[in-house]
């Protein structure tokens, strides 16, 4: 779990803000569009859409972009018909990787994903090859705001969370997969400032990847930067010393 969070933090610190924001907006628009298409355009009755809109607001996406994405999903505006697809594979060092994408052209997407794996010493595998190594969870990030960790733990567990961990100026709260929305609603009612909330995949066991860290990070970055890719998960663990060197 910590490895993925460290990687995300490094990407945030090293990335060019404007370019990253554009890619984030693209991913959020796709998620909003698909959520609206599959569950309707009312966030009050569509939890997936409500979550996507909340994440868009946290990313400072203009409300017009959000509204247009919803309308494309409901058919009020002409839009692209995206499909959910998942790919599984291995990175250097035997690290298991799961890639979730939204695409209007599966042949293009699988070709780009396969190319990324092969370019950086990995390989694309059959569906089911590594997914059993992960567990579906809800993930909520809230600002610490000088809150006591024991107090946050108690309130999160009472709301239905499984676990929490402190990461710099925020708490990361893990929930059962089907309880994300109820825990999120309770935390917001308790006055927590939510930075991000999403459904995610948590590795059941991790692989030490210190010896292949640089190549592995290049693979994960490349996959994450693909236009069709929404999320990338991997079961690696990298020491703080090696991770800090990569951040330099």
Start-end of CATH 1.10.10.200 domains in the chain? 2-74
Taking the C-alpha atoms of residue 43 and residue 51, their distance in angstroms, rounded to an integer, is 8
User: Running DSSP on this structure, what letter comes out for residue 76?
Assistant: S
Radius of gyration of the chain from its Cα atoms, rounded to whole angstroms: 18
Checking if the pLDDT of 9 tops 60, the result is no
- Point out the least confidently predicted range of 7-11, 70-74, 160-164, 186-190: 7-11
- Alpha carbon distances (Å) from 245 to 44, 105, 208, 214: 45, 38, 16, 10
Q: Among 3.40.50.2300, 3.30.420.40, 3.40.50.970, 1.10.10.200, what is the CATH number of 2-74?
A: 1.10.10.200
User: 3-state SS string over 150-196?
Assistant: HHHHHHHHHHCCCEEEEECCEEEEEEEHHHHHHHHHHHHHCCCCEEE
What percentage of residues in the chain have a pLDDT greater than 70? 92
DSSP string, 19-68: HHHHHHHHHHHHHHHHHHHHH-S-TTT-HHHHHHHHHHHHTT--HHHHHH
- Alpha carbon distances (Å) from 204 to 134, 162, 178, 201: 5, 14, 18, 9
Taking the C-alpha atoms of residue 127 and residue 119, their distance in angstroms, rounded to an integer, is 20
The sign of the torsion formed by the CA atoms of 116, 130, 229, 187 equals negative
Convert the pLDDT of each residue in 200-218 to its tens digit.
Answer: 999 999 999 999 999 999 9
Convert the pLDDT of each residue in 145-203 to its tens digit.
Answer: 889 999 999 999 999 999 999 988 999 999 999 999 999 999 999 999 998 899 999 99
The topology under which CATH files domain 83-132+206-238 is Alpha-Beta Plaits (3.30.70)
- 196 DSSP β-pair partners: 141
Higher pLDDT: 11 or 225? It is 225
Checking if the pLDDT of 14 tops 60, the result is no
User: 3-state SS string over 88-156?
Assistant: EEECHHHCEEEEEEEECCHHHHHHHHHHHHHHCCCEEECCCCCHHHEEEEEEEEEECCCCCHHHHHHHH
pLDDT at 170: 94
- Point out the least confidently predicted range of 63-67, 106-110, 191-195: 191-195
Convert the pLDDT of each residue in 25-48 to its tens digit.
Answer: 999 999 999 999 999 999 999 999
Nearest to 25 by CA among 51, 73, 49, 57: 57
pLDDT at 3: 45
Checking if the pLDDT of 112 tops 70, the result is yes
Start-end of CATH 3.30.70.980 domains in the chain? 83-132+206-238, 133-203
Taking the C-alpha atoms of residue 54 and residue 81, their distance in angstroms, rounded to an integer, is 22
Nearest to 218 by CA among 67, 73, 97, 58: 97
Taking the C-alpha atoms of residue 194 and residue 10, their distance in angstroms, rounded to an integer, is 21
pLDDT at 245: 84
Residue 11 binned pLDDT confidence (cut-offs 50, 70, 90)? low
The topology under which CATH files domain 133-203 is Alpha-Beta Plaits (3.30.70)
pLDDT at 7: 52
- For the entire predicted model, the pTM comes to 0.85
pLDDT at 72: 95
């Amino acid at each position: 779990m910590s490895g993925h969070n460290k990687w995300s933090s490094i990407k945030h610190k090293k990335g060019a803000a404007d370019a990253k924001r554009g890619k984030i907006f693209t991913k959020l628009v796709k998620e909003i569009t698909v959520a609206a298409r599959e569950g309707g355009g009312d966030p009050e009755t569509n939890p997936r859409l409500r979550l996507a809109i909340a994440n868009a607001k946290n990313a400072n996406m203009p409300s017009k972009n959000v509204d247009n994405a919803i309308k494309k999903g409901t058919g009020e505006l002409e839009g692209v018909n995206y499909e959910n697809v998942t790919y599984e594979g291995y990175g250097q060092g035997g690290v298991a990787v799961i890639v979730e994408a939204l695409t209007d052209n599966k042949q293009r997407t699988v070709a780009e994903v396969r190319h990324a794996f092969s370019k950086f010493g990995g390989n694309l595998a059959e569906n089911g090859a590594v997914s059993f190594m992960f567990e579906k969870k809800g993930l909520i990030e809230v600002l610490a705001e000088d809150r006591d960790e024991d107090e946050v733990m108690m309130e999160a567990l009472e709301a239905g969370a499984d676990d929490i961990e402190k990461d710099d100026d925020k708490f990361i709260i893990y929930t059962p997969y089907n309880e994300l929305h109820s825990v999120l609603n309770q935390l917001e009612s308790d006055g927590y400032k939510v930075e991000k909330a999403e459904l995610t995949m948590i590795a059941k066991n991790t692989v030490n990847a210190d010896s292949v860290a640089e190549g592995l990070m290049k693979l994960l970055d490349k996959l994450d930067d693909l236009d069709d890719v929404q999320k990338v998960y991997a079961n690696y663990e990298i020491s703080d010393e090696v991770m800090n060197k990569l951040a330099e």
